[in-house]
Amino acid sequence: MKGSRPVAKVNQTHSKFHVTGARSRRKFVVMFHKRQNQKNLVEFLKNLTKRCGRCVVILDNAPWHRGRKVVEFLTRNKMMIKLIYFPKYSPEINPTEQCWKVMKEPLANRYFKTLPALKQAVKKHLQTTFLLPKMFTYLCP
């Protein structure tokens, strides 16, 4: 109404989730977690190797990407998976980070009544959008 104060609905629960993702030319594999830690990364890597087979994963330098549990998993699975790390402070060269940026645009400034509703919207968007910025043609064979 003209002259009235706008009302913004907000979620006061401060609930959140984290999304771990891997990008290839044909697939975008994701998992949802309550926390970002080594245990969840190892769970994601196990799921990734089941779905994609042998793979090389390029990661940023987050602390949970380099811990003891991750090293133990890599030692046990060195024939299936190899991790390579991007240089520190370089998200602009990480294609997955660019995919998150593209994914967030249609979800920004929208109100979701519940956390499961937001999670469902993220899943739906990931299934319907290819999310590979054209600048990352090095992922193509």
pLDDT digits (tens, 9 = 90+) for 24-49: 766 778 889 999 999 999 999 999 99
> Is 112 a domain residue?
yes
> Is 32 a domain residue?
yes
Structural domains counted in the chain: 1
> Is 106 a domain residue?
yes
For position 47, which CATH number holds?
A: 3.30.420.10
> Is 1 a domain residue?
no
**Domain boundaries, position 82:** 18-122
Give the closest residue to 46 by CA, choosing from 24, 16, 68, 20: 20
Report the C-alpha gap between 140 and 133 in whole angstroms: 12
Residue 140 pLDDT greater than 60, yes or no: no
Confidence tier at 15 by pLDDT (50, 70, 90): confident
> Is 23 a domain residue?
yes
Confidence tier at 13 by pLDDT (50, 70, 90): low
> Is 130 a domain residue?
no
Interval 43-71 mean pLDDT? 91
Confidence tier at 92 by pLDDT (50, 70, 90): confident
User: What is residue 139's predicted lDDT score, i.e. its pLDDT?
Assistant: 56
> Is 129 a domain residue?
no
